[in-house]
């Protein structure tokens, strides 16, 4: 019986064979772009994201968000044959996107400008988009880990303690817009006409200002220079750090990236070490610099 990575790869290849047959128009062989909670593959002008079919709701939400953002003129990676997506192949769900390259490297100012575009252009459609819920995403990231798993148990306990604060903060923040939820360079494509948002799996209708939390965590946990936050905020055009809700946004984002690390730690020893580092920082107050994004 094939294991999960083989099943994901076979499903991705099946969709790519349909969209970009090898040898058709000079298309090259399939390249693995990223392995993690989702498998990301590229062949020629098409990139596919493959997840277990149990996460089909996430794939459907990504497709709907990409369509809504494009209609709101927010720079976003284009879907391939959007009306037909996502595809279920065996026990996997697949989405397909236009590959884009050739742009300048994504800067902190670019990230701030994308966050501003989400804030300024999506308020009118936010009510039609599923809510952004980082607590739900945190719990989903560790859902397959047993109750006796110490790191996963910490994540679950912290999520339960944070849930009420998150609900209050999201309400207090006022403006509802579409937030990306994990806005960093690896989730932005450097296209020839400018940077494009991608990886919308966390995105949804949420409080304006949340996407700034990632830029703060980059400085406080990952050791980025303070100037990087300054460049982000200058392009964003606001500084939400003084709001009562913002500390909760930071706590929610820190817990999400910790939950993600715990969720994928079995795939690589360095990921397991990073998961332990993040848990030790949040649980024990360890003075550790986080390394994986």
Domain count, the chain: 2
Among 72, 98, 124, which residue terminates a domain?
98
Handedness of CA 168, 174, 180, 183 (dihedral sign): negative
Beta bridge partners of 31: 42
- Do residues 214 and 250 touch, judged by C-beta distance below 8 A? no
- Do residues 242 and 172 touch, judged by C-beta distance below 8 A? no
Cα separation of 65 and 254, whole Å? 24
Same domain, 113 and 66: no
pLDDT band at 263 (very low <50, low <70, confident <90, very high): very high
Q: State the pLDDT at residue 1.
A: 44
pLDDT band at 113 (very low <50, low <70, confident <90, very high): very high
Q: Helix 212-220 and helix 246-264: axis angle, to 10°?
A: 70
Q: Is the link from the previous residue into 87 a cis peptide, with omega within 30 of 0?
A: no
Residue 177 pLDDT > 80? yes
Cα separation of 7 and 1, whole Å? 10
What does the pLDDT look like over 87-96, one tens digit per residue?
999 999 999 9
Residue 24 pLDDT > 90? no
Average pLDDT value for residue range 120-146:
94
Cα separation of 62 and 64, whole Å? 6
Q: Is residue 293 part of a domain?
A: no
- The single residue listed with the structure tokens 């090259």 is 28
Average pLDDT value for residue range 110-120:
98
Q: Is the link from the previous residue into 86 a cis peptide, with omega within 30 of 0?
A: yes
Q: State the pLDDT at residue 82.
A: 64
Q: Is residue 291 part of a domain?
A: no
Provide the CATH number for the domain around residue 85. Answer: 3.30.200.20
Same domain, 52 and 196: no
Range of the domain at 80: 4-98
Same domain, 253 and 134: yes
């Amino acid at each position: 019986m094939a294991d999960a990575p083989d099943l994901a790869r076979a499903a991705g290849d099946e969709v790519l064979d349909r969209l970009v047959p090898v040898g058709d128009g000079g298309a090259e062989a399939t390249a693995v772009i990223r392995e993690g909670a989702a498998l990301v593959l590229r062949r020629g002008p098409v990139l596919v994201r493959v997840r277990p079919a149990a996460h089909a709701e996430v794939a459907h939400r990504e497709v709907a968000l990409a369509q809504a953002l494009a209609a709101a003129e927010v720079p976003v990676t284009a879907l391939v044959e959007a009306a037909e997506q996502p595809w279920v192949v065996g026990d996997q769900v697949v989405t397909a996107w236009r590959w884009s390259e050739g742009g300048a490297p994504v800067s902190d100012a670019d990230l701030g400008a994308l966050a501003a575009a989400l804030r300024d252009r999506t308020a009118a459609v936010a009510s039609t988009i599923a809510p952004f819920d980082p607590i739900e995403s945190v719990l989903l990231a560790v859902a397959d880990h047993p109750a006796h798993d110490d790191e996963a148990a910490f994540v679950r306990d912290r999520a339960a303690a944070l849930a009420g604060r998150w609900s209050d903060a999201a309400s207090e923040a006022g403006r509802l817009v579409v937030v990306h939820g994990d806005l960093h360079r690896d989730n932005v494509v450097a296209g020839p006409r400018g940077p494009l948002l991608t990886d919308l799996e966390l995105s949804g209708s949420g409080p304006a200002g949340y996407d700034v939390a990632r830029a703060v965590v980059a400085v406080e946990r990952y050791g980025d220079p303070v100037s990087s936050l300054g460049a982000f905020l200058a392009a964003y055009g606001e500084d939400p750090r003084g709001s009562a809700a913002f500390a909760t946004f930071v706590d929610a984002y820190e817990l999400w990236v910790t939950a993600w690390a715990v969720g994928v730690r079995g795939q690589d020893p360095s990921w397991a070490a990073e998961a332990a580092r993040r848990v030790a920082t949040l649980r024990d107050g360890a003075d550790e610099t986080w390394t994986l994004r």
